[in-house]
Structures are given as C-alpha cells and as structure tokens.
Amino acid sequence: MRSAACLLSVCLLVTFLFAGCEGQLTDAAAPQPITFIPEAPANLAASIPQPSHNPLTAEGIALGRMLFYDTGLSANGQVSCASCHQQDKAFSDGQALTQLGVSGKALLRHAPSLANLAWMEGLFWDGGVKNLESVSFGPLTHPDEMGQDLNKLLLYLKQHPVYPAQFRSAFNTDSITTPLVFRALAQFQRTLISADSRYDRYMRQESGGELTSLELKGMALFRANCGSCHATDFFTDNQYHNNGLGSSFSEEHEQLAFGRGRITHASQDIGKYKTPTLRNITLTAPYMHDGRFNTLQEVLAHYTSGVKPSPSLATQLQQGEKLGIALTQEEQQKIIAFMHTLTDEHFTSNPALVNPWPR
C-alpha cells in the first residue's frame, strides 16, 4: 500500500511541475498518459475496479486532485469538493448538516466520508448515482453546495494558466469538457483507498496489527450483531436498510426522507438508506444520513433501545417482540473499542491525497 502511495506522489509531483511545458507540445509530440495501477489491499480485493472508458493514469489522477481541491470550481470561488470532504476527517466535514456551501444554507443530508469508492455500488445515501463519473454533477451545480454554472466552469478552466496543459496531459486532447472534468475527479476519488488501520494489519498478519483482548471481544460482538449490514472488510454490504430512525417519512423536499424509496418509487424502500462504511468511524462524527447522533455511544444506544417500527424496518432489527439489538453497556463499550481499530492514520495523512495547490 505505501509503495503504491509513494509512486503516486512522485507521478503527481512530476505532472504538476511540468504542466507549463506540456502546453507547448505539438500534437505529434504529445505524450500518452501513464497508466497507473495502484496496489489493491489484500484483505479488500484482488484489484481496483475502473471503467474501460476512464482508466486510471498518473496524469488523470493528478488533474482530479487539483480539481477536487480547487475553490475556483464554485460559483463564489470559495468552496471546493474538499470543503465538505476533509482529509483529516477521512474526507468528511465534522458537521451534521453542513453550511459550508455557497449559499450558507444547511444541506438536507449529512456529507458522507469518502473511502474505497472504487468498490461502492450506488453512491449518495439513496444510491441515486451509479458511478463516480456522475457523482460530481450534483454537488458542482447544486445552489446550496458549489452552485456552479457548467458553462462558466468550462470558461474558468480554459482560461486558467495551468488547466489546459493538465487536461491535454491527462486526456491527450486540447478540448476541456464537462465529461472530462468528471472523469478526472472520478480517477482521483478511486485512489481514496483506506486499508491500513490496525485492524487491516491484524487481518493481513502484518507488523503493527496487534489487537487487545478487549478489541478482539468487541470484534466478535461486532461480527455477531452488526456484521450482516456492515459486512466484509469494506464494512458495508452496499445495500439499503431502514434502521429504525423514524416511523413516518415526510414528503417534503421531493420526498427526500423516503431515502432509497425516492429513487425506486417502491413502498418497501421508503426509509431505507445506504449502509455507510465504518472505516475511520471515530473520525467521521456525527452519524446517520442526517447527522443526528454525535457519538458512537448514541448510535449503539439507538440500536439497543431506540429503534422505531415502520413497514420497511430491517429484519435484522426485528428480534422477537423487542425491536433492535440486545446489547449490554459492557458489550457496547467492547464494540466501540473495536471500532477504534478501524482508524487509518496513513489515509488521513497520505501525501498523495493532500491539497496540491500552494497555500
């Protein structure tokens, strides 16, 4: 993992330093983008998925990282993707419903953390977007997020002193188009790979992977009580569940509270939301799609005694006459101890993922 990250850092630095030179090349001399194949963590998958029309390249990833951190992509020049997805918080923002967008208004859903997106099936809390090449359209254009007019965005990029050469280097074309913007952002986001926590090292039997007796007991409890939804080492089953946060679902804001049901228009999906990964969970508070819980203690208290009935409630939370998951205070503390082992400090400080712009 670290060797791949170091190689990526070198590729990004070289691409950035020579951006000015690349803009002077003739078509005949234009170099082809360098294919980049990051190492997949052994306990996650054999390889990193990527679409044939947008393969990972060092130049494409470098461009995507520049775009991700560039506040110039927003209508007021003050908001970037990284405003709500901050590396030190595992690419979350620490707010329940952020007000960091161009309008200053609170969003209606909690900004999720970003990790291991290359393997995710369905994006956003309701799965309304199917792939990373499409995921940036909403935040870029939403009036309460980045509020950008795409025509103005393209003009900004074309007139920028660096971007024309960067697009040419990444995609071997002098054209700057919105699909290429989205492809570059997707490439960078596919490199947001988190799998270097103590838990990961334990699973791979690597140095630094020692877990305490308390953490091991918590892991056993977690797998028995939480693992059906927070499954595999991705800690998500990529599915949608109603976890009992409410008994009724408002039709306001275009049925936003319907969750997955807003997308499928199926009554059985009303109130269901995408299972979030629990990687770096201690860094990504507050929790749930609306950020209602500030601590992991509150989350486990909900599952123990706060689950509310509704027609689409997850079957995992219907255990006999009592709803929820029966956990003692001691068991909850053991599970929380285990979840601390999912913190990946390398991910939150990886130089290949930091802001590339001079500050």
Q: Which residue type, as a one-letter code, is found at position 24?
A: Q
In the structure encoding, which two tokens stand for residue 146, read together? Answer: 């980045």
Write down all domains in the chain, each with its CATH number in brackets.
2-195+346-353 (1.10.760.10), 198-340 (1.10.760.10)
17-57 confidence digits (pLDDT tens):
333 333 333 344 567 899 998 889 999 999 999 999 999 99
Candidates 48, 53, 58; CA nearest to 9 is 58
* Grouped pLDDT means (10 residues each) for the chain, 359 residues: 44 41 44 89 95 97 98 98 98 97 98 97 96 97 98 98 98 97 98 98 97 98 98 97 97 97 98 98 98 98 97 93 94 98 98 94
- Other CB atoms within a 10 A radius of the CB of residue 329 amount to 11
| Cα–Cα dist 229/142, whole Å | 31
Question: Do the beta carbons of residue 112 and residue 276 sit within 8 Å?
Answer: yes
- pLDDT given for residue 29 in this prediction: 58
170-187 confidence digits (pLDDT tens):
999 999 999 999 999 999
**Exposed e or buried b per residue across 216-252, where buried means at least 16 C-beta atoms within 10 angstroms of its C-beta:** ebbbebbeebbeebbeebbbbbebbbbbbbeeebeee
Query: Helices 163-171 and 178-190 meet at what angle, rounded to 10?
Result: 70
DSSP letters along 114-164, please? --SGGG-SSBSTT--B-SHHHHTHHHHH-TTTT---HHHHHHHHHHSSSHH
- pLDDT given for residue 320 in this prediction: 76
Query: Strand, helix or coil at 37?
Result: coil
Query: Strand, helix or coil at 331?
Result: helix
- pLDDT given for residue 31 in this prediction: 77
